A and B are shown apart, each in its own frame.
Chain A
Amino acid sequence: MAVASLARTLTRTEARKIKPAPSWIVIGLLVAGCVFLAIGSLQSALFAQQTIAGLASGGIYASLAVALVLIYRATEVVNFSQGAIATFTTYIAWQLMQWGLAYWGAFFLTLAIAFVGGILLELVAIRPVERAGTLTVVIVTIGLLILIEGSVGWIWSAEVKFMPPAFPSRPIQVGGVAFTLQDLGTIGVSIGAVVLLWLFFQFTKLGLGMRAAALRPSAARLAGVRVSWMLSLGWGLAAALGSVAGMMAAASPTVLLQPSMMDTVLIYAFAAAVLGGLESAAGAVIGGLAIGVMLNLLGSYVSWVTPQLLLPATFVLMLIVLLIKPSGLFGRARVRKV
């Protein structure tokens, strides 16, 4: 008996280590969703337009969600201050433009500032409590959320500002459907940033070191990886990616540049990350896009879904997915050794 159960435990822990292929049901659902969107878009110009607009906001949720996943994977901490950091850096971009920088100059300078700022934040606020346990660190990130949002209001005042968009809002016609360049650009930039990050993790030595540090810190150290530095870098990259989300979001007419602008976006991003399984960047991207499109279509086609109902709708979707597949669409079931 004892031997049998031990053998079972062993095979199970072994199974945990092997990345499972996403289940066929999940893939089927995604394909069905894509087919539905494609057919709908071919049938109706309005549907196509709403889908693209949904993908644009979905791209924003996706990039912030990937930022959350990045930190979660390394430390199992959900960084509640991710949205506030994005807000802060977006204000920096706005300020740079006020000082006369062109949009893309301000954009890339902001990325660099966010990267360095994220590293400093990890060193100053997270490192000292790192060993105190996950819950403590999570509470520190909530503290950071309040602190950073407060300082944004204090530095730049709470009044709504106008963030110049990266792309002209002029529409372009593709086969009778009008898309705004801004939507297309937002999709391109946010997904492009995620893809760049993926390339970094996949093909560079440093990226490999960061992955190893997240997977098995002790073994990574034996291979010569400075794990604590990798965690700081992770915060830097997450902050930079979040700032992309922030700058894109601030230009969209539904968000506007204000201290609390990322609060709702963070909730959607969190929902996207949870849908994807919290540990999977690809899952977070798909989750983000799915939520963006779903909300937009619900808002424009279902008459009784008012804007106030969109957030609850997200939670209903999240609830359904987690009830059916508790580890998220792309997550793996975890076995914890006790």
Chain B
Amino acid sequence: MPLLELEDVEARYGAVKALHGVTLRVDEGKIAAVLGANGAGKTTTLRAISNTVKRSGHVRFAGKSLARRAPESIAKLGIAHVPEGRGTFSELTVMENLRLGGYTRRGPLKDDLQRVRSYFTWIDERGDQQAGTLSGGEQQMLALARAFMQRPKLLLLDEPSLGLAPLVVSEIFRIVKELNEHEGMTVLVVEQNASIALQAASDAYVLEVGKVALSGPSAELREHESVRRSYLGY
């Protein structure tokens, strides 16, 4: 069953059109990846979902149209968007960032904090540290932890590998897979690093100049001639 459906979605920044009719779907419980070169519209696709860019077309989440919903109400519906550049609040402490993740929910956050600790063991002792003083990898993990605190049904991840060392990147993707398997979190991840994204995801979409050029199960795409040459480099 599709949790998220995009149908013929167009988006623009002022006069510049960034998406020319993107159609994609993410099934519940799956990890889907959006691949593509710089400027292909990957980030814009996520923005179109969380309504942080001017867009038209159909965006449906769990059967509900997101057309007229403001970003904050989309967050409340159960979509956590971790934007490019991590989206942590560097002036706030680690703990405050986590509390902010639980902003849309009522009631105490104790259980959630406990669960966050089980995935991100280092977070506990760094609670009072300012998020801006964390390393890049830790900040990305904090962003992930904050999104997890939102208890989303769908996690939108924008280039989690950006500017991070390969070891850190694989650690992050390992956690994303765990969250997907153990917490049932559906994930839509945008990546330039196609090989790691294809490993983690079950389905993938390749964007080219604001359109889906290619799509299918990750295993098939990995074997696909043009994907191999353009994005995997062998």
Real binding pair: yes
Interface residues of A, Cβ cutoff 8 Å to B: 14, 17-19, 205, 208-209, 211-212, 215-216, 218-227
Q: Is B72 an interface residue (CB 8 A)?
A: yes
A165 to chain B, nearest CB (A): 40
Q: Is B130 an interface residue (CB 8 A)?
A: yes
Q: Is B121 an interface residue (CB 8 A)?
A: no
Q: Is the beta-carbon distance between B76 and A224 smaller than 8 angstroms?
A: yes
| Known A18-B91, A222-B50, A225-B100; 9 more pairs at CB < 8 Å | A18-B130, A19-B130, A208-B100, A209-B103, A215-B89, A221-B71, A221-B72, A222-B87, A227-B72
Which label, helix, strand, loop or mixed, suits the secondary structure of the B interface?
A: mixed
A146 to chain B, nearest CB (A): 35
Task: Return the contact of B101 from the options A216, A218, A221, A223 (Cβ within 8 A).
Answer: A223
Task: Return the contact of A209 from the options B71, B100, B130 (Cβ within 8 A).
Answer: B100
- Complexed CA–CA distance, A15 and B104 (Å): 30
> In the assembled complex, which residues on chain A have CB atoms less than 8 Å from the CB atom of B70?
221, 226
The 4 closest A-B pairs by CB, nearest first: A224-B104, A224-B75, A17-B90, A221-B71
- Complexed CA–CA distance, A221 and B89 (Å): 12
Q: List 14 A-B contacts (CB under 8 A).
A: A17-B91, A19-B91, A208-B92, A208-B103, A209-B100, A209-B103, A212-B92, A215-B89, A219-B89, A221-B75, A222-B50, A222-B71, A223-B103, A224-B75
Q: Is the beta-carbon distance between A222 and B130 smaller than 8 angstroms?
A: no
- Complexed CA–CA distance, A218 and B52 (Å): 8
Task: Return the contact of A17 from the options B50, B52, B132, B146 (Cβ within 8 A).
Answer: B132
- Complexed CA–CA distance, A19 and B131 (Å): 10
Task: Return the contact of A205 from the options B76, B83, B103, B146 (Cβ within 8 A).
Answer: B103
Q: Is the beta-carbon distance between B104 and A215 smaller than 8 angstroms?
A: no
- Complexed CA–CA distance, A224 and B150 (Å): 9
Interface-central residue, B76, B91, B132, by most chain A CB under 10 Å: B91
Task: Return the contact of A223 from the options B52, B91, B132, B146 (Cβ within 8 A).
Answer: B146
> In the assembled complex, which residues on chain A have CB atoms less than 8 Å from the CB atom of B99?
205, 208
Q: Is B133 an interface residue (CB 8 A)?
A: yes
Task: Kindly report which residue of chain B lies nearest to residue A10, judged by CB atoms.
Answer: B163
Q: Is the beta-carbon distance between A224 and B91 smaller than 8 angstroms?
A: no
Task: Kindly report which residue of chain A lies nearest to residue B133, judged by CB atoms.
Answer: A18
- Complexed CA–CA distance, A219 and B91 (Å): 13
Q: Is the beta-carbon distance between B92 and A223 smaller than 8 angstroms?
A: no
> In the assembled complex, which residues on chain A have CB atoms less than 8 Å from the CB atom of B92?
208, 211-212, 215
Task: Kindly report which residue of chain B lies nearest to residue A205, judged by CB atoms.
Answer: B103
> In the assembled complex, which residues on chain A have CB atoms less than 8 Å from the CB atom of B80?
222
- Complexed CA–CA distance, A120 and B71 (Å): 24
Q: Is B153 an interface residue (CB 8 A)?
A: no
> In the assembled complex, which residues on chain B have CB atoms less than 8 Å from the CB atom of A221?
52, 70-72, 75
> In the assembled complex, which residues on chain B have CB atoms less than 8 Å from the CB atom of A215?
89, 91-92
B51 to chain A, nearest CB (A): 9
